[in-house]
């Protein structure tokens, strides 16, 4: 038995080494990221972007993509915007791209897979490049949650509601968090301690200036709610982190969803946020030809489905599926960006996957920074790659749960070591 166990361990290590060797190889047809930037994340309804529209934020960020990359806009063949709440997002991204300086030959589209929309947009552009359909494209995620929340506008047809899991798709996100807390015994204390750590890490990162190379300033107009007076401001940093947050202060906050449970609060759940993030992708050969700096290699992404009522645990299924495709283990990952939709699901995923907490959300996560739904998938790439550069580490994993019962994960290799 001892010999068999030893052989099993050796085989596993060999597979991991083989997996790492494979994904870190550099080939001309690789899909690479040459720019990853984001706006600051602002508090919805009362923050710096409360009077800013989606079109302006997307337009501003796309202008920054051109300016910071020094790319000829003619080379960008497609732009994909991940967005959840705006029904006019397809009009928005096309018009914003044209105004930002992209030619009318640059196409544009939108995707919506709830909280993974930014990663889905990245996957869509990467897949087009990989298949040879385009050479270069931009993936952008953006959400103005100040405009309103998501959710079905009306109940589903009665025939659909007869299927329990279909009916469960209408459960509020807070209810699904309480379901996870109850089903898997994730205590209020564990959730509050996790949330406190998220804020403390974000505070440390802000004070040290770790976000500076991923954030681009945004100049916009804000209106005084009392006088109606408008003034120009330049937003330069995230507004979500509450410096000085402690477990003791969070433990005093009342439950946010008392109809469903008593563990999830406004302090241990993700913040409602406005923001956007973008990544510029192209073939490695194209990047070299255009003298673009290669930040990272896009390896792949995958998605899973699960019971809608416990949608939060989606990353615990998506991550093993993705790692399995590349013969990797969680120990092979250097930096992990896992979306903190709720502390309940984050604690569950850490415990279930055996994640080393020191590798995950080093700069804090959505509980401290915020969760602009369509932007989170691209925001995680920006933050994760920046953290890889700071630590001089290579392998980045991103993941998030998805409303209605799904999970997604993405894998990247930092090449700025």
* Whether residue 401 lies in the annotated active site: yes
* Whether residue 371 lies in the annotated active site: yes
Answer whether 115's CB lies under 8 Å from 55's CB. Answer: no
Print burial letters for 369-396: b (CB count within 10 Å at least 16), e (below 16): bbbbbbbbbbbbbbbbbbbbbeeebbbb
Answer whether 246's CB lies under 8 Å from 196's CB. Answer: yes
Answer whether 240's CB lies under 8 Å from 231's CB. Answer: no
DSSP reduced 3-state for 41: coil
Q: List alpha helices for 43-85, DSSP H.
A: 54-69
Answer whether 95's CB lies under 8 Å from 55's CB. Answer: yes
Which one of the listed residues 80, 115, 136, 382 is annotated catalytic? Answer: 115
Which one of the listed residues 349, 382, 388, 401 is annotated catalytic? Answer: 401
DSSP output for 174-218: HHHHHHHHHHTT--HHHHHHHHHHHHHHHHHHHHHTTTTTTB--E
Which one of the listed residues 349, 371, 382, 388 is annotated catalytic? Answer: 371
Query: What are the residues whose beta carbons fall under 8 Å from the beta carbon of 362, sequence distance 6 or more?
Result: 201, 205, 335, 387, 391
Parallel, antiparallel, or unpaired for β 406-414 and 296-305?
antiparallel
Q: Distance from first CA to last CA of the chain, Å, rounded? A: 42
Cα–Cα distance measured from residue 275 to residue 244, given in angstroms and rounded to the nearest whole number:
24
Parallel, antiparallel, or unpaired for β 78-82 and 136-144?
parallel
Up-side HSE of residue 87: CA atoms within 13 Å toward CB? 6
Answer whether 410's CB lies under 8 Å from 241's CB. Answer: no
Question: If phi over 0 gives left and psi between -120 and 50 gives alpha, with beta otherwise, what is residue 101?
Answer: left
Cα–Cα distance measured from residue 416 to residue 36, given in angstroms and rounded to the nearest whole number:
13
* Whether residue 382 lies in the annotated active site: no
> Would you name the residues annotated as active-site residues?
115, 371, 401
């Amino acid at each position: 038995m001892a010999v068999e166990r030893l052989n099993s361990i050796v085989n596993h290590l060999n597979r991991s080494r083989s997996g790492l060797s494979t994904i870190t190889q550099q080939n001309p047809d690789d899909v690479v990221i040459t720019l990853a930037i984001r706006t600051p994340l602002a508090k919805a309804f009362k923050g710096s972007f409360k009077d800013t529209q989606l079109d302006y934020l997307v337009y501003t960020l796309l202008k920054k993509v051109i300016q910071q990359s020094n790319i000829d806009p003619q080379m960008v063949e497609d732009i994909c915007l991940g967005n959840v709440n705006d029904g006019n997002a397809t009009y928005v991204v096309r018009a914003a791209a044209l105004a930002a300086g992209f030619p009318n030959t640059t196409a544009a589209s939108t995707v919506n897979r709830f909280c993974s929309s930014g990663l889905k947009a990245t996957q869509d552009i990467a897949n087009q490049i990989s298949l040879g359909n385009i050479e270069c494209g931009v993936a952008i995620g953006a959400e103005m949650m100040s405009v309103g929340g998501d959710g079905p506008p009306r109940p589903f047809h009665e025939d659909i509601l007869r299927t329990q899991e279909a009916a469960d798709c209408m459960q509020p996100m807070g209810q699904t968090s309480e379901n996870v807390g109850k089903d898997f015994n994730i205590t209020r204390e564990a959730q509050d301690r996790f949330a406190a750590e998220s804020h403390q890490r974000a505070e440390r990162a802000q004070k040290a200036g770790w976000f500076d190379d991923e954030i681009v300033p945004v100049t916009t107009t804000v209106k005084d709610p009392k006088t109606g007076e408008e003034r120009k401001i330049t937003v330069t940093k995230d507004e979500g982190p509450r410096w000085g947050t402690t477990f003791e202060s969070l433990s005093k906050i009342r439950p946010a969803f008392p109809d469903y449970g008593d563990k999830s609060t406004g302090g241990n759940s993700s913040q409602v946020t406005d923001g956007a993030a973008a990544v510029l992708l192209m073939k490695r050969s194209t990047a070299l030809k255009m003298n673009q700096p290669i930040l990272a290699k896009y390896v792949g992404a995958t998605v899973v489905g699960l019971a809608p009522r416990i949608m939060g645990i989606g990353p615990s299924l998506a991550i093993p599926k993705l790692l399995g495709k590349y013969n990797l283990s969680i120990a092979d990952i250097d930096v992990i960006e896992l979306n903190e939709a709720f502390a309940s699901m984050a604690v569950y995923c850490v415990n279930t996957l055996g994640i080393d907490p020191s590798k995950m959300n080093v700069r804090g996560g959505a509980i401290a920074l915020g969760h602009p739904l369509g932007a989170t998938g691209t925001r995680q790439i920006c933050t994760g790659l920046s953290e890889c550069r700071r630590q001089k580490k290579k392998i980045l994993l991103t993941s998030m749960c998805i409303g209605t019962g799904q999970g997604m994960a993405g894998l990247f290799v930092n090449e700025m070591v």
